Amino acid sequence: MEGLLGGGGLDLGSLMEQASQMQQQMAQAQAEAASTLLEGVAGGGAVRVTVTGTGEYRSVSIDPAAVDPDDVGMLEDLVLAALHDAAARIQEVQSQSMGGLGDLLGGG
């Protein structure tokens, strides 16, 4: 039992300090993601969606040339594609900002 806890055993103080540092890094990464604006694009720029790195959608921009009353389905597809592109960019930013922490926490 002494070999597990004594000498070269667990250092609870060090472990707590590492946990605290990890918590600070996560908070910083979340703050950076919240202030990062990303853009999802579809149709060669005809539809643009602006979103923060935490997934808060801020705006949608549609080029008037993309609006065809006879083909609303195409516009819907472009908006959906822009949303998917934005979601992929969010995932990239979150993976980069979390670094190795994301893997430890079950992410990316």
* Tens of pLDDT, residues 42-71: 999 999 999 998 889 999 999 999 999 999
- Burial degree of 35 (CB within 10 A; 0-12, 13-18, 19+): exposed
- Six token digits for residue 46: 């005809």
Q: What does pTM read for this prediction?
A: 0.66
Tell me how far apart the alpha carbons of residues 102 and 29 are, in angstroms, rounded to a whole number. Answer: 11
Mean pLDDT score of the chain: 83
* Tens of pLDDT, residues 5-25: 555 567 888 888 888 888 888
**CATH numbers and ranges of domains, the chain:** 38-103 (3.30.1310.10)
Tell me how far apart the alpha carbons of residues 53 and 11 are, in angstroms, rounded to a whole number. Answer: 36
Other CB atoms closer than 10 Å to residue 99's CB: what's the count? 12
